[in-house]
């Protein structure tokens, strides 16, 4: 993970071995760049991770393929997204609009067109371009910028994503330690960062701030920090996970809201929980419905 941005000279190219993910192209969940949808620091994490998986794992045209059927599926969608006549590249089609020079350059590298195309589809599927002030993703190079738009305008690309990716990101996402306030993982038109966060599933609060989390209709897993957190799971069967054994916590219930206080200072703090189904401790799970 090199410093700076790609091509700015911060890290010499000869020092990079493997697939780089640059510092200034990583908008950590809940960071200032993430919340403000700052596209000068766009999140290219999906891009770089999937480039590695695609090129070294799945395989592309002109390269060894571990998953030839999937590789062919991606290439078919990419071919459909470009005009048949190369003279029209960059002018027409679903992808590469106003980017003919890049398209021609990628066309000289085995599999590069497939690799660059599918990234636009992935980023669009997970809402990374919804807040962009333009008509499409990747600075208007791709025809759609939302999941619904993707399904409507590039159904072949949408079908590829639906066949291999979950509807929501299932990894445990770490909320930026500098975040303060209430973080939402459902769509709220008043908070444009939720174009992205609505597709998250599991959140861990980091840092020391007393933050709140509002869940979505998925079966979420939440982990707090050492502060006093408020967590509302909203829909789904949600879990809040603690670091210690159950005997080390006091659990109080008041009209559907639970207050769980850790007896160990500086560990889990005092949390107010609502719409949570399971309290997960180091030694066992406790169903919220069993607490009177």
Please give the radius of gyration of the chain, using alpha carbons only, rounded to the nearest integer: 22
> Cα separations (Å) of 43 from 18, 146, 160, 198?
19, 16, 21, 16
A 10 A CB-CB count for 276 gives 22
DSSP helix/strand/coil, 165: coil
pLDDT at position 7? 84
The reported pLDDT for the residue numbered 62 is 81
Q: Would you state the pLDDT for residue 31?
A: 97
Question: Which of 215, 195, 190 is CA-nearest to residue 205?
Answer: 215
Q: Which residues of the chain have pLDDT under 50?
A: none
pLDDT confidence of residue 6: 85
pTM of the model: 0.94
Tens digits of per-residue pLDDT, 169-181? 999 999 999 999 9
Structure tokens at 256: 């559907």
Judge whether 239 and 221 are in contact, CB under 8 Å. Answer: yes
Are the C-beta atoms of 156 and 186 separated by less than 8 Å? Answer: no
Other beta carbons within 10 angstroms of residue 79's beta carbon come to: 14
Handedness of CA 49, 110, 97, 20 (dihedral sign): positive
Q: Where do the domains of the chain lie?
A: 44-164, 169-290
Cβ atoms of 213 and 272 within 8 Å: the answer is no
Residues 6+ apart with CB under 8 A from 23: 1, 2, 3, 4, 5
Quickly count: other Cβ atoms within 10 Å of residue 244's Cβ.
Answer: 15
């Amino acid at each position: 993970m090199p410093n700076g941005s790609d091509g700015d000279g911060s890290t010499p190219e000869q020092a990079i071995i493997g697939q780089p993910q640059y510092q200034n192209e990583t908008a950590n969940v809940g960071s200032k760049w993430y919340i403000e949808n700052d596209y000068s620091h766009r999140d290219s994490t999906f891009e770089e991770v999937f480039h590695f998986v695609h090129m070294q794992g799945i395989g592309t045209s002109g390269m060894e393929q571990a998953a030839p059927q999937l590789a062919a599926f991606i290439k078919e969608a990419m071919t459909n997204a470009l005009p048949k006549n190369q003279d029209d590249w960059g002018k027409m089609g679903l992808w590469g609009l106003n980017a003919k020079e890049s398209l021609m350059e990628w066309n000289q590298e085995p599999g590069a067109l497939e690799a660059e195309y599918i990234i636009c589809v992935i980023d669009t599927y997970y809402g990374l371009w919804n807040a962009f002030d333009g008509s499409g993703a990747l600075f208007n190079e791709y025809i759609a910028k939302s999941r619904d738009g993707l399904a409507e305008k590039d159904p072949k690309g949408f079908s590829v994503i639906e066949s291999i990716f979950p509807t929501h990101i299932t990894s445990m996402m770490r909320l930026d330690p500098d975040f303060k306030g209430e973080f939402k993982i459902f769509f709220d038109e008043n908070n444009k960062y939720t174009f992205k966060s609505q597709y998250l599933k599991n959140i861990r609060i980091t840092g020391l701030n007393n933050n709140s989390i509002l869940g979505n209709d998925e079966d979420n897993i939440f982990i707090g920090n050492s502060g006093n957190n408020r967590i509302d799971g909203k829909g789904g069967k949600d879990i809040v996970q603690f670091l210690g054994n159950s005997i080390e916590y006091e659990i109080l219930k008041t009209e559907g809201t639970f207050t769980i206080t850790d007896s160990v200072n500086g560990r889990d703090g005092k949390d107010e929980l609502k719409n949570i189904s399971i309290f997960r401790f180091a030694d066992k799970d406790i169903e919220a419905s069993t607490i009177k």
